Structure 1
Amino acid sequence: MVGATSHESAGHGSAAATPVQPRAMRADARRNYDRLLSEARSAFAEHGTDASLEDVARRAGVGIGTLYRHFPNRDALLSAVFEEAAGDLLTRSRELLHAPEPCAALVKWLREMVTHAGEYRGLARSLMSVSYDTTSALARCSGPIREAGGALLARAQEAGTVRKDVAIGDLLQLTHAIALAAEETPGDPELADRLLYLTLRGLKDS
């Protein structure tokens, strides 16, 4: 990943490493975790997900080693940052399972996925890159999201409004690509909606 630090390339944590959960920490470690997460959100919002991890640690008032103890690699930090948005998407998917129009509910959920993926520049690309990689720390978020989207897709397919050959993995990749296109075209705020409309047309069973 562009912007990766020398610490990352030196092997601080494998791709399968996951962030330490804050509930198991001492009070001082929990404070460090919370500060790192807060500063990571700010840095990613300002500079994108390729922001310097050394800068994140400096802004949090800790050493880079402390950051890596909590987040063994960039994907682990991204996973923690995206976890709240992922929780929102999971809650929303459960609500939409009861919507009267299954296909419209699926597309509405995908639109919210685009919105969350666009919160940080580079996040959509990262989510695309781990879509089929279960070893990445980001899979902690992408796995449950795939299941949630799969349930909405299955309901729409059972209703006969979405083609049976549509797979949730392909649909999520397409959604991440739409989020990336919207990110790369900030002067066209309607782009994501137009692309999702085209997606809807392609999803419908003839």
Structure 2
Amino acid sequence: MRADAEDNRRALLEAAREVFVEEGTSVALDKIAKRAGVGIGTLYRRFPDRDALLRGVIVDIFESMTDAVRTAEAADEAAHGARPAWERLVRAVAGLGIGPALPVIFRERLDLIDEPGVAAAMRAAVTAVEGVYQAAQDAGELRGDVGFLEIQMLAGMLSMSRPNYPPTVDPDLLTDRLVAILLDGLRAAPGNSALPGAAVVFSPLDPDDRAAVERAIAEENERIGKRRG
């Protein structure tokens, strides 16, 4: 793919991720093209229909996570553990800016999980991420009573909060500070307080978890319908 074509594809994926969060997945596609700074024809050349664009966004998010794992592990090896891979990964996820995108898309289009490409990208990302965190727990670096999904959720919340940062602060510096606070809470240490309850374990690829999500979505849609009625 030519450099300009790849630039357009990346701009469209990033714009779609933002606009879907702001307005939902049924938003007019020309809004996404305008946000990306390209024409609607360019959008359709890259993504023939709405589903193709949604799949593209989801797969890109999971591939970004997998790439973050590879980068964190390579940097960890090059630095001889000066900053563990799991800490680098938490920092990377916080900086990806993907916090709210997946929940919004899956709430409206959970069926996309059944797409082979989406499911494969999700499995690859989950396997890679969990491998880093499991190794850190086995090494006694990461507290053992926290779930891998919980770590991703916390890091994702930081990426979601960036647009709401006070305008007088440097967003990168504030993110670094918040990530440092988060890492201190995740490191295994004698003074760690016991966490209430059990670690959260959840995957939409699991049939039982998938059914629970579908029930929750149906109940939410019913509540929304009653309020509008």
Normalising by the smaller structure, the TM-score range is 0.5 to 0.7
Aligned mates of 1:181, 1:63 — CA distance in 2: 28
1:172 Cα shift?
0.5
Q: Is residue 102–residue 152 contact of structure 1 (8 Å, CA) maintained in 2?
A: no
Partner in structure 1 of residue 141 of structure 2:
161
Aligned pair partner of 2:102 in 109, 121, 127: 127
Query: What does 1:11-22 align with in structure 2 at a 5 Å threshold?
Result: none
Asked whether 1:201 is paired with 2:176, we answer no
Partner in structure 2 of residue 42 of structure 1:
11
Aligned pair partner of 2:74 in 95, 106, 109: 95
Q: 1:150 to 1:66 in 2, by over 3 A?
A: closer
Q: 1:161 to 1:48 in 2, by over 3 A?
A: closer
Aligned pair partner of 1:112 in 81, 89, 92: 92
1:41 Cα shift?
3.3
Q: Is residue 69–residue 128 contact of structure 2 (8 Å, CA) maintained in 1?
A: yes
Superposed CA RMSD: 4.0
Q: 1:102 to 1:153 in 2, by over 3 A?
A: farther
Q: Is residue 136–residue 142 contact of structure 2 (8 Å, CA) maintained in 1?
A: yes
Q: Which amino acid in 1 is paired with 2:70?
A: T
Identity percentage of aligned residues: 18
Query: How many residue pairs are counted as aligned between the two chains?
Result: 168
Aligned mates of 2:127, 2:41 — CA distance in 1: 38
Aligned mates of 1:150, 1:63 — CA distance in 2: 34
Aligned pair partner of 2:160 in 180, 184, 196: 180
Q: Which amino acid in 2 is paired with 1:193?
A: D
Asked whether 1:79 is paired with 2:78, we answer no
- Give per-residue Cα distances to partners, 1:116-148, cap 9 Å, x unaligned: x22xxxx32113557997827665544323222
1:201 Cα shift?
1.6
1:200 Cα shift?
1.4
TM-score by length of 2: 0.55
Partner in structure 2 of residue 22 of structure 1:
none
Q: Which amino acid in 1 is paired with 2:30?
A: E
TM-score by length of 1: 0.60
1:49 Cα shift?
2.2
Q: Is residue 102–residue 159 contact of structure 1 (8 Å, CA) maintained in 2?
A: no
Q: Is residue 93–residue 148 contact of structure 1 (8 Å, CA) maintained in 2?
A: no
- Structure 2 residue runs of 5 or longer lacking an equivalent are 21-27, 191-229
Q: Is residue 124–residue 177 contact of structure 1 (8 Å, CA) maintained in 2?
A: yes
Asked whether 1:192 is paired with 2:172, we answer no
Q: Which amino acid in 2 is paired with 1:109?
A: L
User: Greater relative contact order: 1 or 2 (C-alpha under 8 angstroms, separation 6 or more)?
Assistant: 1
Aligned mates of 2:16, 2:166 — CA distance in 1: 15
Aligned mates of 1:149, 1:111 — CA distance in 2: 13
